[in-house]
Amino acid sequence: MLSIWESEHFHPQPDIVVIGGGIVGLFTALFHKRRHPDHSVVVLERGAHPIGASVKNAGFACFGSPSELLADMDKEGEDAMLARVEERWKGLLELRSELGDSRIGFEATGGHEIYPWHTKGYTAVADRFNALNDSLRPIFGEQVFVQDDEAITRFGLTGVGHLVRTRLEGPLDSGRLMSTLLRKVVAEGVLFRPLTEVTGLEETPRGVSLSTKGGQPIRTAMVAICTNGYTRELMPDLPVAPARGQVLKTFPVPGLKLRGTFHYDEGYFYFRDHAGGVLLGGGRNLDLIGETTTEEGSTELIQDALEHLLRTVILPGQPFKIERRWSGIMGMCPTKSPIIERRSERIVVAAGLGGMGVAIGIRVARRAAALLDQ
């Protein structure tokens, strides 16, 4: 039996429950609380702290490399591509202004796309380079991408024929970002309940009842489901597929020349410097079926490909040791746009941010919070 004190202050019937304490869930809770300071807002997170993609990612504050943007333009048209870039760019600016560059560990060291020798990738980009910059200029107010092949040696890379960079991107510290955000959310009056896994929802005309693993049911008026790659566990009919991303990080490498964020091989691989070492991820394209999973873990096939890239392109001739390997689960939608919608009278879903949640998470949450009010 709960005491009166427990039930009033730690197990209240909240006005709003947000399921999932990643970047989207935390910002959704924060924005709702700001709109309705008198509402009790609770975030239920199954981990002891946020344990989803928001704390497993590579920490690229980026809006899309030239080859990705051109491929999007060919697939969906120029307007759709530009709208997506604008969303990402505005998201990054909002994130940096809401939390502060130093509190998210943002480093303005630039974003880069590199093209291996003898691939068609660069020719396709070079042919439309000026046109792409012209299209993007109204969003950024300046030329976004510049060709800078001389930087290849400066960064110590080999096997690379061409390099394109933008000064507007850079790496950040995802752990610092998330702990700053969590502190802010709690300071502004949101209750964060870790170790609370929601196992089911039942909606009635009077509210929603949430069952929790090993705990008491929680009743609330409205729910925001922000569970990204895990969303199908609660809403099996939603088209958000889990997609595992594997990452490794080397110990510090003496004299490391690499600075900034890098996309390689049409974005299938990505790497950056962090704490004097290299953080590298990708290779999902080598086993798309196997990597469509909510299970964390690493495979020999992909880890070998990552280490091969370290040896042949990123750290040629330099000894390195792997300090850590991890993985995270993304949520993928059929298009590159996330699902942000009201599923029913009392349930809003915001999920499926793909590989861009750092950039768009804050704006996805703003829209989810607005939907809770409609």
Binding positions for ligand FAD, rule: CB under 6 A? 19-25, 44-47, 50-54, 56-60, 197-198, 226-230, 233-234, 245, 247, 281, 328-330, 353, 355-359, 361
In the bound state with ligand FAD, the residue whose beta carbon lies nearer, of 146 and 195, is 195
* 8 A C-beta contact, residue 353 and residue 367: no
In the bound state with ligand FAD, the residue whose beta carbon lies nearer, of 54 and 220, is 54
Q: Which of 362, 358, 280, 366 shows the shortest CA–CA distance to 54?
A: 358
3-state SS assignment for residue 1? coil
3-state helix, strand, coil split of the chain in percent (to 5) is 35, 25, 35
Closest separation in Å from C-beta 111 to ligand FAD: 10
In the bound state with ligand FAD, the residue whose beta carbon lies nearer, of 234 and 372, is 234
Closest separation in Å from C-beta 296 to ligand FAD: 10
Q: How distant is the alpha carbon of residue 155 from its chain centre? A: 26
Closest separation in Å from C-beta 242 to ligand FAD: 10
**What phi, psi does 54 have (nearest 5°)?**
-60, -25
In the bound state with ligand FAD, the residue whose beta carbon lies nearer, of 50 and 66, is 50
Provide the token pair at 218: 């929680």
Q: Give the Cα separation of 265 and 286 in Å (integer).
A: 12
In the bound state with ligand FAD, the residue whose beta carbon lies nearer, of 16 and 44, is 44
Closest separation in Å from C-beta 130 to ligand FAD: 27
AA letter at 120: K
3-state SS assignment for residue 119? coil
In the bound state with ligand FAD, the residue whose beta carbon lies nearer, of 226 and 369, is 226
Q: Give the Cα separation of 224 and 311 in Å (integer).
A: 45
* 8 A C-beta contact, residue 32 and residue 372: yes
In the bound state with ligand FAD, the residue whose beta carbon lies nearer, of 161 and 175, is 175
In the bound state with ligand FAD, the residue whose beta carbon lies nearer, of 57 and 65, is 57
Closest separation in Å from C-beta 342 to ligand FAD: 17
Count of residues in the chain: 374
Q: Give the Cα separation of 374 and 369 in Å (integer).
A: 9
Closest separation in Å from C-beta 272 to ligand FAD: 8
Closest separation in Å from C-beta 244 to ligand FAD: 7
DSSP string of 15-57? SEEEE--SHHHHHHHHHHHHH-TTS-EEEE-SSSS--SGGGTS
Angle value at C-alpha 123, between 120 and 126, nearest 5 degrees? 150
Closest separation in Å from C-beta 271 to ligand FAD: 10
